[in-house]
Amino acid sequence: MITSAVRQALRTRGDEPAVLCLIGDLGPDRAELAALRLRGNDRRVDLDAHGMGRPVTVEGIGGEGEPSSVGLVVIAADGLTDLRRAVTVTTQLPPTAHLLVVVRHVPAHLGPLVPAPPTIDEWNDLHELRVRRFGNRGWACELCFPGGMSVAEALAAVVHGPRGRRRGPGVGVLGGLSGTQAALWRPGDVAARGVTATGPVEIDRVTPVSDLVLRLDDGGGLPFWEDVEVPAVDRLATDATVAPEVRSPEARLRVYGTDPVSRVAPVDERFVNPIGFTKKTKGPLGELVEVEGRVVVRDETCVRIRPTPDGTVTENDLERVRHLRGVRVGWPEHGDTATVRIVAALAAGGVPLIGDPAPMWAAGLGAPLAELIAGGAEDVLLDPLRREEHSIRLRRAALRTHGVRTRWRSLAAEAGLPVPPETRVSVVLCTRRPELVGFALAQIARQRHVRFEAVLALHGFSADLPEVDAAVAEFRATGIPLVVHEAEGEKVFGAVMNDAVDRASGTVIAKWDDDDWYGPEHLADLMLARAYSGADVVGISQNFTYLEELDLTVWRGYRSEVPSPAIVGSTILADRVVIEDVGGFRPRPRAIDSQFLLAVTRAGCRVYRTHGFGYLLRRAGGGHTWNVDLGYFLRNHTEQWIGWRPSVLLEGVPAPFGAQADRHIDHPGEHVERL
């Protein structure tokens, strides 16, 4: 079907030249597309092999008196990860009047190939848009701009559509790229610029178009960098794609970057992430091994995925191994950065990995990820609870260490460039119970891997109460910013929440309850999900509940890592602009969380549910704005335990802040680990 769609577009495009671009595996379709007959002035480009810094020229286009746009550009990709990489390379293509994008397979958890235009006025020249599905999960999207359109910008809109509305946090540094494989380091970036190996960087009026240039050495060495204003950092291309005949001894001995992690091309977290994770423990155990010089993942029946020689794992690869209960990493005797990328990508995708201690050549994984893989045992993969805990630890380490944004911020630091501060999260806590202030503030204070402040709304009581004053003083002693707001007791809950949000300075708002338990990476997990999901609102599934009256902990194995509005209200994390878009919280005394989520979905926003292993809902006898009976929590549970037993990822409970706090809250006795 891909070949038919491409052949039809080539036949009907008129007299103008065409550019046929291929990227990714494409299976048998690649050979068929490569065999299509083209006209003399047409171009066929392998985007995987086309280096940055080499503009694609087309005969008869762009010269004096010649048209500036080609008649047709075709981008044929195996999946969306490949398509994101194509965005970066196609910044070097001439504009086109007709763009055809065909993707062989899009997983079920992602949407159709419907473009998300950047702004209305930029697409005023759009004359035709056609989206169609072919086969089981293949998609084609056609856009016609008679006046011509930037291929990269149009392609970026197409690849963004299946993810959701938000584009996610940016890197903060404009990147220039030079060399083959450079797109691996900066996928999906329409602002990336190809630069020659010597430079200099192009100037737009008085400003360089890049802040930092990454040069890749294919094994033959790199020339002197001539630009004195824009710094360059150098890296060696992935060994597996460097032909032996072009390798020089000097290039092999040169060390690019003191940190072995920074020498590894990053993982594109926008599509290589835990979305689609399954809780299956009865599937076969896969193994990562080297077969005929290629690293593959196989089970007892066949090879499941065969990553490309540069170590790229795609969203389609992850879909093919979701049925496995885990993967045992068999370290090759002589590995390279491609193998490191494969392992990091599987971990970022939530695939449970186990294996022997990593060899020296795999130092690029980073110590935390390598230790987690070596610390996993096969029996962990047979228990659904422990298996998912292991997966969460792996994905945390991989996404924080090997994501594109993380890698470029480290490259900028290496080059001595400042980067924007991390996003500030405002944790909003609204409470009517002074005895719980110290309990809640202690849990907020132990959050890690995130930049945050706290906004405490005291609903109907004063901050001068001894237990409140002591708790606030102890929290402020940590150095974390805290805003205290005293709200009138007559005000409804929704109005108090809006007042608290108004006093927050963060661009992201996180809702917090006063009596539930939160692990130290609760906020960090939500911010990770916000980055890779493309959702406007994220939260967690209600996995663990402590029924105080029964002294019983219930685990309900809800599916996680899925787009879903069914999230716990006390874990809502949303961009401030989203809250403004829906008019804030409704001025009601209860059910403000469910009403907010309803308003968000009505506004066309996307809600995403990540895991709930760093959270424990407390269900006491009364005083809840969410009124359901205990039977609700006892139905359809996966497992239950006598006493207080959260996931180990909760990491115990910190001592409440304030000298008098312990007299006012009934902790679950001997089950609580004191920190």
Mean pLDDT of the chain, nearest integer: 91
Closest CA to 539 of 565, 513, 578, 517: 565
- For residues 555 and 639, what is the distance between their CA atoms, to the nearest angstrom? 5
| Average pLDDT over every residue of 408-432 | 96
Same domain, 492 and 591: yes
- For residues 101 and 107, what is the distance between their CA atoms, to the nearest angstrom? 17
Specify whether the CB–CB gap between 112 and 133 falls below 8 A: yes
Same domain, 177 and 248: yes
Same domain, 458 and 539: yes
Name the band, by pLDDT with cuts 50, 70 and 90, for residue 467.
Answer: very high
The contacts found for 239-244 with CB under 8 angstroms, 24 or more apart, are: 239/336, 239/337, 239/338, 240/309, 240/310, 240/311, 240/336, 240/338, 241/180, 241/181, 241/309, 241/310, 241/338, 242/218, 243/219
Same domain, 341 and 446: no
Same domain, 25 and 75: yes
Single residue among 167, 195, 226 that ends a domain in this structure: 167
Specify whether the CB–CB gap between 154 and 145 falls below 8 A: yes
**Cβ of 343: how many Cβ atoms within 10 Å?**
30
Same domain, 506 and 636: yes
Q: What are 586-597's pLDDT values in tens digits? A: 999 989 999 999
Give a yes or no: residue 672 inside a domain: no
| Average pLDDT over every residue of 12-35 | 91
Q: What is the pTM of this model?
A: 0.94
Give a yes or no: residue 500 inside a domain: yes
Look at the chain and count its residues: 675
Burial class (CB in 10 A: 0-12, 13-18, 19+), 196: middle
Q: Is the preceding peptide bond at 481 cis, omega within 30 degrees of 0?
A: no
**Cβ of 167: how many Cβ atoms within 10 Å?**
14
Name the band, by pLDDT with cuts 50, 70 and 90, for residue 635.
Answer: low
Provide the percentage of residues in the chain whose pLDDT is more than 70: 92
- For residues 535 and 569, what is the distance between their CA atoms, to the nearest angstrom? 16
Same domain, 603 and 483: yes
| Average pLDDT over every residue of 636-646 | 86
| pLDDT, position 531 | 95
Single residue among 353, 371, 402 that ends a domain in this structure: 402
Name the band, by pLDDT with cuts 50, 70 and 90, for residue 541.
Answer: confident
**135 or 52, higher pLDDT:** 52
φ/ψ region of 18 (left if φ > 0, alpha if ψ in -120 to 50, else beta) reads beta
| Average pLDDT over every residue of 461-473 | 97
DSSP string, 49-110: TPPBT-----TTSSSTTS-SSBSEEEEEESSHHHHHHHHHHGGGSPPEEEEEEEES---TTS
Give a yes or no: residue 258 inside a domain: yes
Q: What are 136-176's pLDDT values in tens digits? A: 889 999 999 999 999 999 999 999 999 877 888 889 999 99
CB-facing half-sphere around the CA of 599: CA atoms within 13 A = 16
Sequence letter at residue 257: G
Same domain, 338 and 482: no
Give a yes or no: residue 668 inside a domain: no
CA distances from 123 to 84, 95, 276 (A): 20, 14, 33
The answer on pLDDT for 627 being more than 70 is no
| pLDDT, position 219 | 84
- For residues 354 and 348, what is the distance between their CA atoms, to the nearest angstrom? 14
The helices-and-strands tally (H runs, E runs) of the chain is 17, 30
Residues 6+ apart with CB under 8 A from 352: 325, 326, 327, 376, 380, 381, 387, 390, 391, 394
- For residues 654 and 656, what is the distance between their CA atoms, to the nearest angstrom? 6
DSSP string, 373-427: HHH--GGGGGSHHHHHHHHHHHHHHHHHHHBHHHHHHHHHHHTT---PPPPEEEE
Single residue among 132, 167, 202 that ends a domain in this structure: 167
- For residues 536 and 596, what is the distance between their CA atoms, to the nearest angstrom? 12
Same domain, 144 and 195: no
Provide the percentage of residues in the chain whose pLDDT is more than 90: 79
DSSP string, 178-232: EBTTGGGGSTT-TT-EE--SS----EETTEES-SEEEEEE-SS-------SSS-E
Specify whether the CB–CB gap between 21 and 72 falls below 8 A: no
Same domain, 337 and 357: yes
Rg, Å, the chain Cα set: 27
Give a yes or no: residue 23 inside a domain: yes
Domain at 430, CATH number: 3.90.550.10
The answer on pLDDT for 631 being more than 70 is no
| pLDDT, position 90 | 97
Same domain, 239 and 102: no
Find tokens 């290629």 and name the residue: 294
β-strand partners of 248: none
Please give the structure tokens belonging to residue 590. 């209860």
- For residues 331 and 320, what is the distance between their CA atoms, to the nearest angstrom? 21
Burial class (CB in 10 A: 0-12, 13-18, 19+), 172: middle
The answer on pLDDT for 239 being more than 80 is no
Sequence letter at residue 384: P
Sequence letter at residue 370: A
Same domain, 552 and 446: yes
The answer on pLDDT for 366 being more than 60 is yes
Task: Report how many domains make up the chain.
Answer: 4
Give a yes or no: residue 197 inside a domain: yes
The answer on pLDDT for 227 being more than 50 is yes
Give a yes or no: residue 278 inside a domain: no
Identify the domain containing residue 207 by its residue range: 168-266+404-418
Give a yes or no: residue 665 inside a domain: no
Closest CA to 641 of 552, 515, 510, 558: 552
Q: What is the DSSP letter of 650?
A: G
Q: What are 471-505's pLDDT values in tens digits? A: 999 999 999 999 999 999 999 999 999 999 999 99
Name the band, by pLDDT with cuts 50, 70 and 90, for residue 247.
Answer: very low
